[in-house]
Amino acid sequence: MSETTEQGSNGFEKTMTRQGRESRVTLPGASNRHVMFHDAERCIGCFACEIACKLQNDVPVGPRLVRMIQVGPKDVGGRLQTSWVYMSCFHCEDAACMPVCPTAAMRKRADGIVYIDEPTCIGCKACIAACPWGAVQFNPRTNKVIKCDYCKDRIDEGLWPACATQCATKCLFFGDINEYTTMLRERHAERQVVME
């Protein structure tokens, strides 16, 4: 941080504290928090992410831990356009699924990943009812619940989740939340330069 002194409109000098670039693009204490970013502008709805997730996690027919939701087609300036929304667990800061679990099978890691401890789960479905996003689903093969855990075993090995690695157009970004916010700011700045 740096301080500068400027002449105010009322004739008095005022001291202003300016924060450096790092303070604008980083979130304090979030350096170990993972996020998944879906770049809807690049997505073509190929469903490679859904297939990769099912194969990686051996998910049977029915539950989908990653869902691509089609929006449209709709008329945009005389052209039909379809867009896609990526839906999986949001790994909420204050996850509604956790406090309702009677066996504490729904847990959260230090890096923010909300996951299910399968041996502890009794399949009561309380977490399914509590989740506002429909991210927690019932696995008929095991009679327990199942949800996206960002392929935490892969993350522990330094790899991205399966869905992000198989994305055909590279529209899924997985990583540190500060890298994500920096990427969005840079994209916004580039667009502003092009528009001017």
User: 33-88+148-196: what CATH class?
Assistant: alpha beta
Q: Give a three-class secondary structure readout of the chain.
A: CEEEEEECCCCCEEEEEECCHHHHHCCCCCCCCEEEEECCCCCCCCCHHHHHHHHHHCCCCCCCCCEEEEEEEEEECCEEEEEEEEECCCCCCCCCHHHHCCCCCEEECCCCCEEECHHHCCCCCHHHHHCCCCCCEEECCCCEEECCCCCHHHHHCCCCCHHHHCCCCCCEEEEEHHHHHHHHHHHHHHHHHHHC
Instruction: State the pLDDT at residue 26.
Output: 52
Confidence label for 184 from pLDDT (cuts 50, 70 and 90):
confident
Can you tell me the distance from the alpha carbon of 104 to that of 171, in angstroms, rounded to the nearest whole number?
34
Least confident of 70-74, 100-104, 136-140, 178-182: 178-182
Pick the residue with more confidence: 50 or 15?
50
Read off the pLDDT of each residue in 55-63 and give the average, rounded to a whole number: 93
CA angle, 150 as apex, 90 and 84 as ends, to 5°? Answer: 60
Whether 38 shows a pLDDT value over 50: the answer reads yes
Supply φ then ψ for residue 164, to 5 degrees: -75, -30
Whether 11 shows a pLDDT value over 60: the answer reads no
Sign of the torsion angle spanned by Cα atoms 27, 31, 32, 34: positive
Fold match flag (33-88+148-196 vs 93-146): yes
Read off the pLDDT of each residue in 51-68 and give the average, rounded to a whole number: 94
Confidence label for 104 from pLDDT (cuts 50, 70 and 90):
very high
Confidence label for 18 from pLDDT (cuts 50, 70 and 90):
very low
Read off the pLDDT of each residue in 168-191 and give the average, rounded to a whole number: 82
CA distances from 46 to 2, 51, 67, 83, 100 (A): 49, 10, 11, 12, 35
Q: According to CATH, what is the number of the domain 93-146?
A: 3.30.70.20
For the chain, what are the domain ranges? 33-88+148-196, 93-146
Confidence label for 14 from pLDDT (cuts 50, 70 and 90):
very low
Whether 35 shows a pLDDT value over 70: the answer reads yes
Read off the pLDDT of each residue in 20-33 and give the average, rounded to a whole number: 53
Q: Single out the residue of 159, 132, 165, 135 nearest to residue 149, CA to CA.
A: 135
Read off the pLDDT of each residue in 56-63 and give the average, rounded to a whole number: 93
Instruction: State the pLDDT at residue 15.
Output: 47
